[in-house]
Each structure stands twice: as C-alpha cells, then as structure tokens.
Amino acid sequence: MIKSYDPGTGDGVVVRDTDLVELDLARGALVGSVLRMVRQGQRVVFDLDTDGRATSLRLGSEVDMGTPGFPREGQVPPLAADAVAPTGPLPSETADPA
C-alpha cells in the first residue's frame, strides 16, 4: 500500500501488507509501469531491488497480494463444511427479456 508519494521528486514509501514493514520507493519505481502516479492508500504489488527498495510497481488484486482469505492463482479455496454448492440455471438464463 502506498503510504506517501511525491510526484515531483518520485520519492515515496510503501507498506508491505504481510508484515507492515515500510519500504522506500526506488528511483524509477514507476518506469515501465502502467502507473504514472500513485496516491496514498492505493494497493500495489512491487518487487524489491538489491538495496531493499520497492520497484516495478503495478496494480494488483487481493489474490496477487497474497491477502489472507484470497487464494493465489490456480488454488481453489475449500468450501466451508456447511456450504452448499449452488445448482440450477444462472439468473441471466431465467431473466425475462422484456
């Protein structure tokens, strides 16, 4: 998550979700990214450079970020013991076209 960012200098701080450690943004952290600017509180995925600074910022989903309760790609969460899988047609299949 972006804690702070100065678009004029490119300086900023991100907070890693897994352990709440604050990391400085590397120079050029947005270079090559679809992001041109970031805002405080924005959730992002990033890599660490050899100096431990956040680089290669990109948008991420809860799955990408490894947020507890959201399985990684290719993993299917187990159904709760009392969960019942839905059956029958999808709502769009039964909707009145009028």
- Residue 30: pLDDT band by 50, 70, 90 thresholds? confident
Query: Which of 54, 52, 50 lies closest to 38 in space, CA to CA?
Result: 54
- CB–CB of 21/10 below 8 Å? no
Q: Rounded CA gap, 18 and 24, in Å?
A: 16
Predicted confidence (pLDDT) at residue 15 exceeds the cutoff of 70: yes
Tell me what pLDDT residue 18 has: 85
- Residue 50: pLDDT band by 50, 70, 90 thresholds? very high
Pairing of strands 44-48, 22-24: unpaired
Predicted confidence (pLDDT) at residue 6 exceeds the cutoff of 70: yes
